[in-house]
Amino acid sequence: MASIQLKDVVKKYGKGKHELQVIHGVSAEIADREFIVIVGPSGCGKSTLLRMVAGLEEISAGEIWIGDRVVNKLEPAERDIAMVFQNYALYPHMSVFDNMAYGLKIKKVPIDEIKARVDKAAGILELGPFLDRKPRQLSGGQRQRVAMGRAIVRQPQVFLFDEPLSNLDAKLRAQTRIEIQKLHRELGITSLFVTHDQVEAMTLAQRMIVMNAGVMEQFGTPEEVYHRPASTFVASFIGSPPMNLLSNAPGSRPRTIMGIRPEHLDIGNDGWALQVETTELLGAERLVYGRLGAEQVIVRSEENQAIPEPGSTIHVKPREDRIHWFDGASRKRMP
C-alpha cells in the first residue's frame, strides 16, 4: 500500500501562443488506504489528473509521489498501480479466468500462485461460477467485476478507476458501488476514483476532490463539501437538487450571493413570497420550483404537505443557521 502526493501538478498542451493549460497547480495529500473520488463535469481535467498519476500523460510541472518515490519519469508498469477503465477492455476470446490471469502470466508468476490469486479475487467479487465463461456470456455488471478482478490480482499499491460505472444502468451502478465499497474494506488499497456523477462521489468517497476547469475547487469529506462548499461552483455541483444561489434575495448583502439548500427552506405562513411554476414528485418527498423575482428557487417539501398549484403563491423561510454567503466577485465562500 502507499500514500499519494500531488505537489503543484500542472498539465499543458502545445507551446508558445498555442499553449493550453488544462491542469492548474493541483496539490493534495492522499493517505495510505484512503479512497479518494475526483469529481467534476466533463472537460474539468479529472481524467487527465488520473492519467498523470498512472503515467499515461506526462506532467508539465510539479511532482507526483507514490509512496516514497517521485514517479514523474517512471513508466506506468514501474509505478505499481492497477487501472480500471470505463470500457472493460476484456479479451473476448479468453475465459474470465484467463482474462484475470493474463497480466500475471506475462510477468511469469508461478501457475499455483496465479490460481490462488484469481480464486481469491473471484471469491471477493462473486465471480467463482463464471470463471470458465467468455465475456460475451456475462452481463455488463459482471464484465466490470472481471475488470476489477484483473486489477485485484496484480496486488498493486494503488487502484485507479476512470469512470468505471458509466456504461452500467442505474440499478447496476448502485449495486456495483456497494461492491466497490466492500472491495475497499476488504483490501484497503489506496484508491483514486474518477466520476462526473456527484451522487456516486458522495456515496463512495472518504474524501473528494472537486475539479472545475482544471482547478481543484475543494478537497474534503463529503460532509464538508456538502455542508460548507468552498465556492458557488461546488455549491451548485454537489447536491441533488443543487443549492439555491440568489443574488437578490431579501436580506442579501451588497455584492454577495446567498446560498440555501432546498431542504433548508420551510414552507409556512410567512417569509419569501414564491410564485410556483411546477412540482416534481420524488416518492416520499417532492420538489417545488418557483420564482423569487427573476431568480428560480427550488424547495424540498415532505409528502404530508399540500401540493401547491402552478401559478399559486407560497411563503418560504430560510433557516438562518443554514444560509451560506459567497463573495459576488470571486464566488468563494465568505466567513
Q: pLDDT (tens digit, 9 = 90+) per residue, 155-212?
A: 899 999 999 888 778 888 888 888 889 889 988 999 999 999 999 999 999 999 999 9
Strand-strand pairing, 207-212 and 272-282: unpaired
CA distances in angstroms from 182 to 25, 118, 302, listed in the order given? 33, 18, 33
pLDDT band with cut points at 50, 70 and 90 for residue 8: very high
Grid cell listed for 202: 458522495
pLDDT band with cut points at 50, 70 and 90 for residue 86: confident
Q: Residues 12, 116: one domain?
A: yes
- 169/29: higher pLDDT: 29
Position 253 pLDDT exceeds 80? no
Grid cell listed for 111: 501457475
Q: Residue 254: what pLDDT?
A: 85
Residue 57 belongs to what domain range?
4-233
Is residue 231 helix, strand or coil?
A: strand
333 in any annotated domain? no
CA torsion, ordered 43, 49, 55, 58, to nearest 10 deg: 70
pLDDT band with cut points at 50, 70 and 90 for residue 113: very high
Number of domains in the chain: 2
Q: Residue 251: what pLDDT?
A: 67
Position 243 pLDDT exceeds 70? yes
Q: Which pTM was predicted?
A: 0.89
pLDDT band with cut points at 50, 70 and 90 for residue 302: confident
Q: Residue 89: what pLDDT?
A: 82
Q: Residue 79: what pLDDT?
A: 94
Q: Residues 31, 141: one domain?
A: yes
335 in any annotated domain? no
Q: Residues 145, 214: one domain?
A: yes
Domain end among 169, 200, 233: 233
Grid cell listed for 303: 409528502
Q: Residues 258, 229: one domain?
A: no
CA distances in angstroms from 251 to 231, 313, 318, 333, listed in the order given? 20, 20, 11, 17
Domain end among 211, 233, 255: 233
Where do we find the cell 452481463?
139
Q: Residues 227, 246: one domain?
A: no
Q: Residues 170, 305: one domain?
A: no
**Which CATH number characterizes residue 298's domain?**
2.40.50.140
Q: Residue 174: what pLDDT?
A: 86
Q: Residues 186, 264: one domain?
A: no
Q: Residue 226: what pLDDT?
A: 96
204 in Cβ contact with 184 (< 8 Å)? no
Which residues make beta-bridge pairs with 81?
158
CA angle (141 as vertex; 135, 142 as ends), nearest 5: 40
Nearest CA-CA partner of 213 in 33, 328, 42: 42
Q: Residue 169: what pLDDT?
A: 82
Q: Residues 292, 155: one domain?
A: no
Is residue 246 helix, strand or coil?
A: strand
Q: Residues 250, 108: one domain?
A: no
Is residue 216 helix, strand or coil?
A: strand
Distance (Å, rounded) from C-alpha 171 to C-alpha 175?
6
Distance (Å, rounded) from C-alpha 206 to C-alpha 307?
37
Is residue 325 helix, strand or coil?
A: strand
130 in any annotated domain? yes
Average pLDDT over residues 109-116: 94
Domain end among 201, 233, 265: 233
Average pLDDT over residues 22-33: 97
Position 264 pLDDT exceeds 90? yes
pLDDT, the chain, mean: 92
Position 118 pLDDT exceeds 90? yes
In angstroms, how far is the first alpha carbon of the chain from the final one?
38
Q: Residue 50: what pLDDT?
A: 96
162 Cβ neighbours under 8 A, 6+ residues apart: 47, 50, 51, 83, 84, 85, 86, 194
Other C-beta atoms closer than 10 Å to the C-beta of 60 total 15
pLDDT in tens, 46-82: 999 999 999 999 999 999 999 999 999 999 989 999 9
What percent of the chain has a predicted confidence (pLDDT) above 70? Answer: 99
Q: Residues 86, 159: one domain?
A: yes
Grid cell listed for 93: 476470446
pLDDT band with cut points at 50, 70 and 90 for residue 281: confident
Q: Residues 78, 139: one domain?
A: yes
